[in-house]
Amino acid sequence: MQITIYGPDGCSNCANLRDKTQNVVDEHGFDADVEKVGDTVALAEKGIMSTPGFEIDDEMVFTGSNPPEAELKAYIEEHL
């Protein structure tokens, strides 16, 4: 599974979501690659106005929020 976090450089909320997601993946041993995309044009092409955007495979799961780890885990499990 590919998890992509869309957030421009300098957005600490976005970096924080990436770290939390990586934690969840490591902790529960999910088979997932976590990647962060910072290019603003890439964000625009994905239609993101509120950062960060959280995408699993090709589905944008949520934008503009930074939920707790338990919720991230639930999102990942839904996509297993």
Partner 1 sequence: MVFEQFATWVVDALGLTGAPRAAVHFWVYDTLKILALLVAVIFGVGYLRTYFPPEKIRDYLSGKRAITGYVLAALLGIVSPFCSCSTIPIFLGMVGAGLPFGVTMTFLAVSPMINEAALVVLPGVVGFELTALYAVSGITIGMTSGFVLNKAGLDRYIKEFDFGNSDVDVDEPTHRERARQAYVEAKDIITDIVPYVVVGVGIGAVIHGFVPQTIVTEYLSGPLGVFGAVAVGVPIYTNILGVIPVVESLIGKGLPVGTGLAFMMSVAALSLPQFMILKKVMKKELIASFAVTVASGIVVIGLLFNLLL
Q: Which residues bind partner 1 (CB under 8 A)?
A: 7-14, 16, 39-41, 43-51, 53, 60-68
Toward partner 1, which CB reaches closer, 17 or 25? 17
Toward partner 1, which CB reaches closer, 14 or 24? 14
Across the strands, what pairs with 3? 34, 56
Tokens of 49: 């106005």
Pairing of the two strands 59-63 and 33-37: unpaired
How many other β-carbons are positioned within 10 Å of the β-carbon of residue 18? 19
- In the complex, least distance from residue 67 CB atom to partner 1, rounded to whole angstroms: 8
Toward partner 1, which CB reaches closer, 50 or 80? 50
Tokens of 60: 């944008």
